[in-house]
């Protein structure tokens, strides 16, 4: 088995240090998280953390917390539903109003208006073998290189477009969870399972996971189901320690354990032993579970972000740090920024479509506070973004020009 580590990171000015407790709670009361409803979490290849909330995308890079929302960035919606990172370290963020692609400091928005996305509500993203799968409420878009494939009732004769969840098996068959049952899209056809023709306890399939042994785990509104080849096995509150029959999330770890998120907490199951976890004083509805390289479970709930590790997790503690870079725009034209050291500064104006309108400053500036007024007379009336960038810092704020 893998050796489990207890220390996550050592970051400044925020320090993570080992604790004996097996769970910790991070919320808006002890971190800069703006919202306690955490829908998704990832850690990219540079150990930068991304948290999806219903008030925007939160990024922690080891030095600072940064919030991206519709007021200060190109993000299409503050409601983040899912986040994934590909092998090029590009972040793909699914929202209720489009797909956001983050490549370095560049934000690109994909919607049903400018791409083949069938809907702007991106429920789930899977990246497998350089192929990207985006599930929406009106079908799925698959991107492989320059090739894009749309899957819906018209193109592949599936009975339902509203995809709640999905997973992909070793033969590249796609398993779809919908509110009308389970759909399996194979190369030679489509299989449909519901409570009338199978052992599904309910047609509301809200989570899916195919493990390393190709067992299919199905979370429904009325219990958990596994398919091992042709054997179907059901689990619920009566025959297991499941705290609820509403299964909201399924994740597997490197130890062949299934982590089962419900609307009343989380349990694990290794197909022989069940284990329950107390992760707070109050019950939590589980939205997502991300397991990092140190076997820490980052659990997004409706009340907080919870980090769980049976051998001890890490606590996030605030350490004061002075003289950080700052950037503000007041009254849509008064620009102020502070540099703790001399640095090359670039300040650029973009329109809402992300097109560059004007570069205000692009030169090396001395350390200290800088203040000036930006003349907006050359701009048409409307909203714009003012982006401030140095080698190690980037910030964007919205400005509004009234004519």
- The CATH number covering residue 24 comes to 2.130.10.10
Give the end of a domain, one of 278, 298, 318.
Answer: 318
**Whether residues 257 and 367 fall in one domain:** no
How far is residue 340 from each of residues 214, 319, 389, 390, 398, measured CA to CA in Å?
54, 18, 14, 12, 24
Q: Which residue has the higher pLDDT, 286 or 279?
A: 286
Task: Provide the domain limits for residue 94.
Answer: 14-318
In a domain, 8, yes or no: no
pLDDT tens digits along 188-203: 889 999 999 999 999 9
Classify strands 356-365 and 343-351 as parallel, antiparallel or unpaired. Answer: antiparallel
Specify the pLDDT at position 281.
Answer: 63
**Whether residues 241 and 333 fall in one domain:** no
Give the end of a domain, one of 294, 318, 342.
Answer: 318
- Of 1-15, 27-41, 356-370, the poorest mean pLDDT is in 1-15
In a domain, 1, yes or no: no
**Whether residues 247 and 392 fall in one domain:** no
Specify the pLDDT at position 167.
Answer: 97
pLDDT tens digits along 158-194: 889 999 999 999 999 999 999 999 999 998 889 999 9
User: 59 pLDDT exceeds 90?
Assistant: yes
- The CATH number covering residue 370 comes to 2.60.40.3080
pLDDT tens digits along 365-397: 887 889 999 999 889 999 999 999 998 888 999
* DSSP state at residue 88: T
**Whether residues 240 and 371 fall in one domain:** no
Where would I find the beta strands (DSSP E) of 19-70?
23-26, 38-43, 49-53, 56-60, 65-68
Residue 47 CB partners (closer than 8 Å, separation 6+): 9, 62
**Whether residues 287 and 353 fall in one domain:** no
**Whether residues 301 and 354 fall in one domain:** no
Chain centroid to Cα 79, Å, comes to 10
Specify the pLDDT at position 392.
Answer: 81
* DSSP state at residue 212: T
- Are 161 and 128 in contact by the 8 Å Cβ rule? The answer is no
Name 359's bridge partners: 348
């Amino acid at each position: 088995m893998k050796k489990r580590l207890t220390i996550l990171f050592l970051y400044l000015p925020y320090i993570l240090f080992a604790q004996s407790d097996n769970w910790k709670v991070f919320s808006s009361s002890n971190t800069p998280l703006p919202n306690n409803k955490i829908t998704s979490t990832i850690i990219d290849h540079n150990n930068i953390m991304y948290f999806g909330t219903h008030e925007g995308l939160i990024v922690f890079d080891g030095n600072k917390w940064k919030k991206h929302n519709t007021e200060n960035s190109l993000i299409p919606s503050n409601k983040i539903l899912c986040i994934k990172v590909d092998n090029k370290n590009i972040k793909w963020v699914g929202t209720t109003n489009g797909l956001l692609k983050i490549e370095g400091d560049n934000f690109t928005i994909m919607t049903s208006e400018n791409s083949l996305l069938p809907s702007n509500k991106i429920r789930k993203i899977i990246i497998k073998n350089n192929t990207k799968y985006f599930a929406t409420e009106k079908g799925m878009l698959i991107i492989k290189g320059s090739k894009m494939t749309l899957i819906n009732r018209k193109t592949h004769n599936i009975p339902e477009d509203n995809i709640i969840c999905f997973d992909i098996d070793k033969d590249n068959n796609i398993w779809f969870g919908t509110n009308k049952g389970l759909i399996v899209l194979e190369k030679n056809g489509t299989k449909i399972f519901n409570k009338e023709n199978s052992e599904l306890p309910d047609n509301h399939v809200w989570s899916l996971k195919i493990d390393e042994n190709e067992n299919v785990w199905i979370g429904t509104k009325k219990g958990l189901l596994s398919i091992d080849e042709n054997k179907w096995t059901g689990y619920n509150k009566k025959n297991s320690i499941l705290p609820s029959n509403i299964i909201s999330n399924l994740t597997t770890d490197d130890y062949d354990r299934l982590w089962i998120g419900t609307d009343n907490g989380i349990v694990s199951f290794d197909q022989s032993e069940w284990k329950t976890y107390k992760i707070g004083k109050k019950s939590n509805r589980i939205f997502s579970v991300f397991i990092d390289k140190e076997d820490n479970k980052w659990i997004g709930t409706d009340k907080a972000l919870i980090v769980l590790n049976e051998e001890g997790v890490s606590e996030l503690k605030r350490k004061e740090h002075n003289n950080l870079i700052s950037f503000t725009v007041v009254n849509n034209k008064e620009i102020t920024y502070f540099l703790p050291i001399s640095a090359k500064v670039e300040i650029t104006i973009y329109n809402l479509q992300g097109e560059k309108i004007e570069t205000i400053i692009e030169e090396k500036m001395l350390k200290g506070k800088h203040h000036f007024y930006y003349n907006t007379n050359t701009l048409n009336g409307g909203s714009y973004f003012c982006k401030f960038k140095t080698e190690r810092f980037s910030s964007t704020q919205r400005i509004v020009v009234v004519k």
